[in-house]
Amino acid sequence: MSATFKFSETNGAGTTVTDDIANLNFGSNDSVEVVPATYPIIAGENSYEKFLQANFSGTFTEISNMKFWMSGGTFGVGEGIDADVDVAYSQPVVSTSTVATTAMPNAEGSAFDVLAADGTAVVIVAEGYTGYICLQLQTTGSTPSGAVDQKEFTFQYDEV
């Protein structure tokens, strides 16, 4: 048997967790699977922060060597994603994040190393979550209106 991997997103002041999310759309609303056409980001403003966790279940001995990066897609004019890993959860904000402060890595060699939820180990030995990954899409006044290019993120891990 092997581990089952799912992304989970946490929203709101009361830490509402949604497991097995279908997408990681950014928008001007703090909600899971936000519809960007309904909640667009105005040029020069930011999306709400997104707080993700990897959720592992099933039968496994250990999950280790976890890495996260943007593996596909390009940034448009004035567009970028800042992120950070192994952060404490706080209610997502639309103002410039004080949590997601590092430019999103776009290669495995510069990927974020992700820790277990307790922050003290790089190995998960029982069903559970990793620490939080916080992301925020940021734009400038020169960012063109309309949909941005789709991005692809990779969460890589070793399983025993």
With beta carbons less than 8 A apart as the criterion, state whether 63 and 56 touch.
Answer: yes
Per-residue pLDDT for 30 more than 90?
Answer: yes
Identify the pLDDT of residue 139.
94
pLDDT tier for residue 144 given thresholds of 50, 70 and 90: confident
CATH domain 3-159 topology: Immunoglobulin-like (2.60.40)
- The 3-state DSSP class for residue 110 equals helix
Query: In the chain, where are the structural domains located?
Result: 3-159
Mean pLDDT value across residues 22-39: 94
Q: What tokens were used for 74?
A: 């390009």
The pLDDT tens digits of the residues spanning 93-130 come to 999 999 999 999 999 999 999 876 776 667 888 999 99
